[in-house]
Structure 1
Amino acid sequence: MQNIYKILSLLLDYPNEDVKENLSGIKAVVEEESVLDKTQCDLLSQFLGPIQSITLSDWQMLYVQQFDFSSSTNLYLFDHVYGDSRERGQAMVDLTEMYNKAGFMPCSDELPDYLPLFLEYLSLLQNEEESLKLLKEVSHILENMHKALQKKETPYSYLLELLCSLCNEDKYDIKQKKGIEV
């Protein structure tokens, strides 16, 4: 599951040449890992199809249109909960402390509540159940973002739907996919 978080982190971050060049390999990695069910793989394909058919600059323009100009679809988790209130600042401090305790030192200048950064953190956790628990804590935000992106009829809505579907999985589902008896 950790690779899925990393892949979603890369796909939800600002598009770059490296990611664009490796889009065709993403589906193979996902299929090899066998963590997603057919519906989830289809959601990923529904995102990848349109993105693979456009240029990098068009993808970057789409990204900016979807995430930089709308408060309902921006990728900053705590903005959806706290707006510009003081509580957002404390939530950021708490999230940064959680990252630091786990030894996660972000390589970017993004705020700690930036969804791709949060997903990268989840991808580095050794305990899949802990990753899933943290993802579920932001599930209501992801659901709202998904609805807003769906209204815009953007391929990004498929990635958020995929993330939401991961939130709905339980420990039993994860263990079954791994072939572990419960």
Structure 2
Amino acid sequence: MSPLPTTVPAIVRTRVRAAVRRRVVADPVEAERRSLLLRLMSLTLQYPDPELVAARPAVAAAVAALPESPAATELTTFTDWFTHEDPDVLARHYVEMFDLRRKSSLYLTYYLHGDTRRRGMALLALAQRYRAAGWETDGGELPDHLPVALEFAALSGPGGGEAPLRQHRRGLQLIHRALTDADSPYRHVLAALLTLLPPPTEDDLKAVAELAAQGPPNEDVGLDPYTTPTPLEDSHR
């Protein structure tokens, strides 16, 4: 693997602060490669604020330095667009894809539980999983926000660290489907992530089709202490 730009590790870790007990893995080179992929996915799925926009050349260089893989190919296609697009266009596109469309929201528990009491419990369980692993977020996002889950997976390893991603595989598949239908370049980031997860079963595909047609369950109570921010509430707007 070619050396990464020296600025990349700091950039990748600026958004989600964490302390974690690292697990021992059999293949540290493969673990590092996978971790970097997940961190780059986490970074590219965050709101393109001025800091991230300024870091685009370094992010693209980090992606270009990845060893060849289906995930790296997808990320390269994404960064080709992301690096050269106008920042205002990037911001508007991000809001449209992830804040204004329920089928491509980045809050994973929504796809399993919708706006129900069960979602509040699922969010609490996810936060407890993070703490049990010795990991604390900065509190700026809900624990099921996909960039947060990706950072946890990157730091904690492919076993327990990636468990939340595997648990929400159907939601991830639906996000990818919605982004593909919208012809959004962000579909390539989701496609990259899906290459790292087990392939979908027939039941998974059926459930995704049902979610796309009917949406998650709805019950607008019981989410405290967690609620999904609306576009007006979210601090990056």
Which bracket does the TM-score occupy, shorter chain normalised? 0.7 to 0.9
Partner of residue 58, structure 2? 25
Q: How far is the alpha carbon of 1:33 from its aligned partner?
A: 4.8
Superposed, 1:83-102 pairs within 5 Å as 83-102=114-133
Partner of residue 162, structure 1? 192
Q: How far is the alpha carbon of 1:164 from its aligned partner?
A: 0.7
Q: Under a length normalisation based on structure 2, what TM-score does the superposition of the two structures give?
A: 0.65
- Determine which structure has the larger helix proportion and give its number: 1
1:106-126 per-residue CA deviation (whole Å, 9 max, x = no partner) reads 11421111111111111111x
Q: How far is the alpha carbon of 1:129 from its aligned partner?
A: 3.4
The aligned amino acid for 1:57 is: D
Q: Under a length normalisation based on structure 1, what TM-score does the superposition of the two structures give?
A: 0.83
8 Å contact 1:71–1:80 — kept in the other structure?
Answer: no
Find the partner of 1:9 among 42, 48, 70. Answer: 42
Gaps of 5+ in 2: 1-33, 200-237
Find the partner of 1:107 among 120, 138, 141. Answer: 138
Superposed, 1:2-81 pairs within 5 Å as 2-34=35-67, 37=69, 39-81=70-112
CA distance in 2, matches of 1:129, 1:33: 22
Find the partner of 1:142 among 161, 164, 172. Answer: 172
Structural RMSD (CA): 1.8
CA distance in 1, matches of 2:66, 2:187: 23
Identity %: 27
CA distance in 1, matches of 2:141, 2:71: 28
The aligned amino acid for 1:48 is: T
CA distance in 2, matches of 1:51, 1:140: 26
Gaps of 5+ in 1: 170-182
CA distance in 2, matches of 1:48, 1:33: 13
Between Structure 1 and Structure 2, how many residues are aligned?
166
